[in-house]
Homo-oligomer: A and B are copies of this chain.
């Protein structure tokens, strides 16, 4: 057995501070909404300078573990989907993921969302979704339609009450839709088909028909591919 030379990392003060606070948050000793002491106090708690504390805080801030509603309120943040979404989208942009990759995954997430939504929707949510659908039907202009389309899908995902699904699909659909803007003009009667599919999904969710909702959602995303194919963008990189 040879000696294992694990890369030992020097822990700089600012990192230790960030880690310390991080573990306290993850262990639940600090709960979302809890207020943290001021920088000077933190500094003397940890026995370092304010500058050092600040560097640590900046990390935690970027991590989304703490946030400042106002400069002098520093509190433990609640887990926020949007920050993670941004990060994932960025990673995907840098990886230059293809339309096909996005579509293939959306092809399983969106039907699942519809299926689950059909199982545990509430009346209120149904009304909201219905209202969204109406707005979408009346929408003029591609950009507006795409934005509403995305909201429609997100609303369904929210109805699924599945946090994991919500978290996972958000960056994906966001990228897919934003990429779709470049494709939409090439798909002439996409709008009609879209309205039809949305209507069907909505009806099946309302009726509590999980399988119907799933199948229509799948069909809807399949349509999506047709439009992308038509524009010859399947292999291309979005954004």
User: Which positions in A face B, CB cutoff 8 Å?
Assistant: 14, 25-26, 32, 51, 54-56, 58-65, 78-81, 84, 87-88, 90-95, 97, 100-102, 104-105, 107-109, 111-112, 116, 162-165, 167-169, 172
Which B residue's beta carbon lies closest to that of A65? B90
User: In the assembled complex, which residues on chain B have CB atoms less than 8 Å from the CB atom of A90?
Assistant: 26, 63, 65, 79
> Once the chains are docked, how many angstroms separate the CA of A108 from the CA of B63?
29
Chain A interface main SS type? helix
- CB-contact partner of A104 in B92, B101, B112, under 8 A: B112
Partner of A164 from B51, B62, B78, B92 at Cβ < 8 Å:
B92
- Closest chain-B Cβ to A177's Cβ sits at a distance in Å of 14
- B63 to A101, Cβ gap below 8 A? no
26 A–B contacts from the bound complex (CB under 8 Å): A14-B58, A26-B90, A55-B55, A58-B58, A62-B62, A64-B91, A65-B90, A79-B90, A79-B92, A79-B95, A81-B91, A87-B87, A88-B88, A92-B163, A95-B167, A101-B165, A104-B112, A104-B162, A105-B112, A105-B162, A105-B164, A105-B165, A105-B168, A107-B112, A108-B112, A168-B168
Of B25, B84, B97, B116, which is within 8 A of A87 by CB? B84
Q: Which of these, B55, B65, B81, B92, contacts A58 with CB under 8 Å?
A: B55
Roughly how many angstroms separate A97 CA and B81 CA in the complex, as a whole number? 13
Q: Which residue in B25, B58, B80, B91 is a CB contact (below 8 Å) of A62? A: B58
Residues of B within 8 A of A80 (CB): 91
Copies of the polypeptide in the assembly: 2
* Contact B112 A167, beta carbon cutoff 8 Å: no
5 new A-B contacts at CB < 8 Å, known A88-B88, A104-B112, A105-B112? A59-B59, A63-B90, A79-B92, A92-B163, A107-B112
Closest to A103 in B: B164
